[in-house]
A and B are shown apart, each in its own frame.
Chain A
């Protein structure tokens, strides 16, 4: 675990910029992620939100859960709006209308639908133009807000309402799109994947992303969804932790070309521990699980080769 800025949870600011009373489902880890993000970012922050669970649940008119400036325009353009906000602030600083030394964080916050599918070209454009925006993707692996439809982020064999499980279909046919790798291919300064269960690792990545000076930063956070993944709300963080323990989710960062796995897993668990806890994988047979396991084994091998040593260990249980 990389602990560069915060060494313990007690060092985090006590202030809450994400007010309670929002209507995210009980046990939704998005609340955990956004609270942590705003604690790290502080009051000088502008959040641009794409349509999604967080947008719908936090701003039911005439209420808002945000204690900082927040804007929502449309589903597909969170990255474009964030680019515009960043450019406007640059101009206002140049004209001396706001203090040029004042640090203003601009955060684009989008779900997997707003990033993998609908918002992808806006995101790619923002990365290519090199705006100083931190793009945070909270990935609950389907369109949860509209009723659990598949997205580009839905993993292999997962049940959703548009990839049903039955005699012919066994959930989604295609594997998850490697969005963080695609973003990294834009050669931006900072790309990372994070997991709310590894809290300090996550907040340190947020802090690092906000301190990147020379361009955009992208953080991909896994967000277990009790409603769509079909598990007991109290298990949100447990499921997130299992994702990393089984190497279904690898926490890495790419900081100016330097690749690091920030949460090494010396002894890896079998993916069945992660899959069997969730109702969306209930239809899987043992052969299907072995197929996913082989897919993960190949991915682990690829990451280990990239790092140059065995950071994700062998399968033990």
Chain B
């Protein structure tokens, strides 16, 4: 519901402040808050999923695509970052046991 868009009429709004569209915060670009951008090195990553578990925003996504590292290790999936929602708190980089996530300053 951005500015300029026509607002719904009173009779079109659901009663009692209910919200009928579950999980519609996905439309909010909280990624704009970010000052540092996490970048995952898929070669270093051991797929322990700690970042996925600890992320408060659910901004780490598991991608079911096989991946083979240069040293020959094969993984069934990879993790990627949802930059639309990532707030750049840096918990993932801090907690990564193999330091596969770097925080790089955002350049506008």
Q: Which of A's residues lie within 8 Å of B, judged by CB?
A: 9-10, 12, 14, 16-24, 26-32, 35-36, 58-59, 61-68, 196, 199, 226, 232-238
The residues of B that contact A21 with a CB separation of less than 8 Å are 25-30, 57, 85
**B10: shortest Cβ distance to chain A, in Å?**
14
A-B residue pairs in contact (CB < 8 Å), sample of 8: A17-B23, A21-B26, A21-B30, A24-B57, A26-B33, A62-B24, A234-B94, A237-B91
The CA-CA distance from A314 to B82 in the complex, in Å, is 43
Q: How many A-B residue pairs have CB under 8 A?
A: 118
Residue numbers in A under 8 Å from B48 (CB-CB): 9
Chain A contact residues: helix, strand, loop or mixed: loop
- Interface size, B (range): 35 or more
B-side contacts of A31, CB under 8 Å: 55-58
> A235–B94 contact, CB under 8 A?
yes
**Is there contact, CB below 8 Å, between B52 and A62?**
no
The 7 tightest CB contacts between A and B, nearest first, are: A31-B56, A234-B90, A19-B23, A27-B89, A21-B25, A26-B87, A20-B85
Which secondary structure dominates chain B's binding surface?
loop
Inter-subunit contact B23/A64 (CB<8 Å): yes
Which chain B positions have C-beta within 8 A of A64? 19, 21-25
Q: Evaluate contact between B85 and A68: CB separation under 8 angstroms.
A: no
* In the complex, chain B residues whose CB is within 8 Å of the CB of A62: 1, 19, 24
Say whether B93 faces chain A, with CB atoms less than 8 Å apart.
yes
Min Cβ gap B18→A in Å is 9
Whether A233 contacts B91 in the complex (CB less than 8 A), given A9-B48, A18-B58, A199-B53, comes out as: yes
